[in-house]
Structure 1
Amino acid sequence: MLPVKNLDALLMQTYGLDFQIHNVEWKHLTDPGENFGSQILAITVNAEQNSKKRTLNIVVKLPPRSQYLLDLFDSPATFKKELEFYSTVAPEFLKLQNESGIPEEAISVITPQFLGGRLGLRDPQCFDEQAAIILENLKDENYTTQDRILGLDKVHMDFAIIHLAKLHAITIGLKLKKSDFFENAILPVLQYAVNEDAQNGVTGMIQKAHNDYKSMKEAEPYLDMIEKTLEYASRVTVTPKEPWTTLVHNDFWVNNMMFKYDESNKLINMKIVDFQLTVYNYGVHDLIFFLISSARKDVLDKHLDDMIDLYYDSFIECLESLNVNTNIFPKNEFIEQLHQCAPIKFQQCIMMVQVIQAARGSVTETTNTADKDVFKGGINDENYKQKMLHILSVFERKGWLVK
């Protein structure tokens, strides 16, 4: 039985009141261990509209069913955020680019198309287990994900960095050009206070990562710096300064982006997904986490500084295309933010290795049954161990560990 109730009413938000569903076929879009924050269904809808038959291939996001994951992801708050992002924020990104005179073929459509949604079935404004977000099925448009365990090569990293810089720059362009609208309509979507259950879940994952380091002989020379960096991150808050503050995705890694290729396998487009944790902060928070979490080891070792430069150059180029004065975004301030924020991002970088490097097939729990032991990365897994050690070497090389 289809887990989504009243699907026709949701699709009528886009397709109109004469949209009638005749039948549906559905399956789970992701395997266990590939997504924890929601149930994701791929649905083929055979319908009729204006007396014409049509077929839709859609993705429906529903909340996780397990209480642990509902608490960890603070689903009532984060589902509302993502719903508001797709319905309110994403359309403004396209509108701003249009109004700035960017040719249609050059406009960045960073997100999948939003087709409808609700916070709850009983009350569309009150969260329940039937909260739903409907998007186009990117797989049907030949978008694919990359291998989270292996990570991204230089071509994919560069491509994603350029799109991340555009996401940050377009948000800032919107803020500077339509300040009242931004303050009233966009900024509330980016406000997020982590609740106690979610914070406890994150703290537990950080503690596990810290304990794993203590169990690795190779990490012994770093243990004092690890301790100091984690303590620093829990104590210090970097208050972002305008005009740099922007939409921070807050979970920008391999599984939250999809790539598209042409007939010769050349990379031609990408989309960013999962906007449930967005906050208003420095864009370098996303950049640091993406570089550390998602680049292959050799790419990170050889090209880290090049990728940081690419982000800044792409950010400035996008702002210029929106006719924004870029003199107020000097590179020295950007580099200063990077070094300020990196020790704080260390926590997220090490805790997420448990998720990103979890061996394929090791997670069998669904989002119905998952509990606090669902994240399977550990020191007995060589991929996990090597990634944890590599993060240390990169942070030390860049001077991002607190001594």
Structure 2
Amino acid sequence: MGETPPSWINSEFLEKAVKFDRKNPDIEIISFDIKRAAAAGDHYGSEMYRATVKTKENGKNDEISLIVKCNHQEGEMSKIIEESDIFRREAKTFTDIHVPVSKLLEKAFPDGYQPLAAKCIYTQELPTAIVLDDLKKQGFKLASVTHGLDLKHCLLVMRKIAQYHACSVVLRHQDPSRFKTFEENSMKNGSAGMSGFFTNIMKSVRNEVESWDDGENYLDALKTLEIKTLDRWINAVLREDDGYNVLIHGDLWMNNMMFRYSDKQDVQEVRFVDFQLSYITSPAIDLQYFMNSSASPEVLANDYQVLIDEYYNTLCDTFKRLGHEELQPSRDVLNAELEKKKVFGVLGGLTVRTVALVDRNHVPDMEKVMKNTDFIHLSEKYKEAVRKLMPLYYKWGWLNF
């Protein structure tokens, strides 16, 4: 990620964004300061900068904090993002989906409405940019975890994503044309770079498992997954038009959500970030991806059904509050979707956790990884997690494919 922001993130750009948001052409930008907003290893799909902006409006001075998201300025990731058009997709998610979703959630939960994500105040196509309210200034932060999220964090996420899924179904029922952008999977054609990333990880995992005394129990499955890993990922995500479909977040892992805590550090609220992979498909994609990539192995082993129950109960409650109980799936349908997407859960558990549990002293150079000139470093935390996950997947029969 670039330390120096692009030259176009300047006073003129920020003034345009703030004027658009405030609907006031007379706002002036007095000064601004821009710094990198995310640490290395926190986000890979964009560059993010925090802009502290001093403004003058109606004779009063104010200071606001904004997050500016843009594409990487160069390299393989920049090409992949440009080719997949995921910035336009994310901008559409904010402008065309989140605004009506917020109205539905306010209607459904009049006494306890909590936003889904940060407010988007401005988007532009060239150069691609999305400007958001700064969640950090509202008291939100990434969860500090050792091996994954605990049950309280996970339950918050399951409730929030259930509300989002339900609202997306209702909106699509009311206005299908609104979702045209999200009918095509942005990853459907893959890329040599992304293929290298997935293959690299699976080779590293296989090498680690080979050193285990019981490694032979898992090697056949890992060797199978290693062949065309990206193709398996893409095929797992693809929509079945006769199945139960929602608008998924698409990249629901622990670094794409921020939490707010009480003074006693009890987790209270969650907001989602990074909607670049929004797509209409099975809700089980978000669920398997999140639980396997981000829940601690202990939560996954002991509370898998608790999390699914929380999701389903919240989903049904949201449909009821919105007056559309006829749109909710049966529990059998949801269970069948989860079963069909179990291979996606395994892929999420093995691949995304390498980044979720990254060693800050060995943050991967994604350019080299995608060119297959460097291996993913497996942190000790990751190795401990996978040592618990593989026997679990074996026990559940998730390695039989």
Question: TM-score, normalising length from structure 2?
Answer: 0.87
Corresponding letter in the other structure for 1:205: F
Residue 126 (structure 1) aligns with: none
> What's 2:94 paired with?
86
Amino acid at match of 2:217: P
Q: Which residue of 1 aligns with 2:48?
A: 40
The answer for the alignment partner of 2:291 in structure 1 is: 291
Q: Distance in 2 between matches of 1:48 and 1:368?
A: 42
| Aligned counterpart in structure 2 of residue 11 of structure 1, from 18, 22, 41 | 18
Q: Which amino acid aligns with 2:248?
A: V
Letter in 1 for 2:123: G
- Does residue 192 of structure 1 match 2:188? no
Deviates more, 1:52-61 or 1:101-110: 101-110
> For the Cα contact (< 8 Å) 2:186–2:277, is it kept in 1?
no
CA contact (8 A) 1:395 1:401 kept: yes
1:116 pairs with 2:145: no
Q: Residues 156-184 of structure 1: CA distance to partner in whole angstroms, max 9, x if unpaired?
A: 111111111111111112123x1xx2x21
Q: Greater relative contact order: 1 or 2 (C-alpha under 8 angstroms, separation 6 or more)?
A: 1
Matched position secondary structure for 2:399? coil
- Paired residue type of 2:181: P
| Residue 153 (structure 2) aligned to one of 122, 133, 156 | 156
Residues 64-79 of structure 1 aligned to structure 2 (within 5 Å) = 64-74=72-82, 77-79=85-87
The worse-fitting range, judged by mean Cα deviation, of 148-157 and 111-120 is: 148-157
Q: Which amino acid in 2 is paired with 1:29?
A: A
Could you say which residue in structure 2 is the equivalent of 1:251?
A: 251
2:24 is the alignment partner of 1:28:
no
Return the offset for 1:148: 5.6
1:390 paired residue number: 388
1:166 has 2:159 as partner: no
**Structure 1 residues 279 and 232, CA gap change in structure 2 (3 angstroms):** same
Identity %: 20
What's the secondary structure of 2:259's corresponding residue? strand
State the distance in 1 between where 2:74 and 2:146 align.
25
Query: Which amino acid in the other structure matches residue 17 of structure 1?
Result: P
**What CA deviation, in whole Å up to 9, does each residue of 1:297-355 have, x standing for no partner?**
22222212211222111211111111112575110111011001111443343222332
Q: Tell me the secondary structure at the aligned position of residue 361 of structure 1.
A: helix
Displacement, 1:151? 1.5
Structure 1 stretch displaced more, 154-163 or 390-399: 390-399
Pair 1:75–1:31, CA change in 2 (3 A) = farther
Query: Aligned residue for 2:143?
Result: 146
Amino acid at match of 2:20: Q
What is the aligned length? Answer: 385
CA distance in 2, matches of 1:385, 1:364: 16
CA RMSD of aligned residues (A): 2.8
Q: CA deviation at 1:61?
A: 0.7
**Is contact 2:15–2:28 with CA below 8 Å preserved after alignment?**
yes
Deviations 1:176-235 (A, max 9, x none): 3x1xx2x21223245334275x53223222222332243222232211123445669746
Aligned to 1:223: 219
Distance 1:8 1:72, change over 3 A: same
Letter in 2 for 1:57: S
Partner of 1:95: helix, strand, or coil? Answer: helix
**Aligned letter for 2:191?**
Q
SS of the aligned residue for 2:169 comes to helix
Q: Give the SS at the match of 2:308.
A: helix
Q: What is the alpha-carbon distance in structure 1 between the residues aligned to residue 168 and residue 132 of structure 2? A: 21
Give the match for residue 355 of structure 2: 355
Whole-Å separation in 2 of the counterparts to 1:339 and 1:115: 39
**Which residue of structure 1 aligns with residue 398 of structure 2?**
400
Cα 1:231–1:333 change in 2 (3 A) is: farther
Match of 1:127 in 2: none
The separation in 2 between residues aligned to 1:170 and 1:333, in whole angstroms, is: 18
Structure 2 residue corresponding to 1:175, chosen from 150, 157, 172 = 172
Distance 1:373 1:24, change over 3 A: farther
Indicate conservation of the 8 Å contact 1:63/1:70, yes or no: yes
Structure 2 CA distance for partners of 1:2 and 1:203, relative to 1, 3 Å: closer
Distance between the aligned counterparts of 1:392 and 1:146, measured in 2? Answer: 25
Extract unaligned runs of 5+ from structure 2: none
CA distance in 2, matches of 1:371, 1:206: 9
- Contact kept in structure 1, 2:89 and 2:181, CA below 8 Å: no
Note if contact 1:359-1:377 (Cα within 8 Å) is conserved in structure 2: no
Q: Where does residue 124 of structure 1 map in the other structure?
A: none
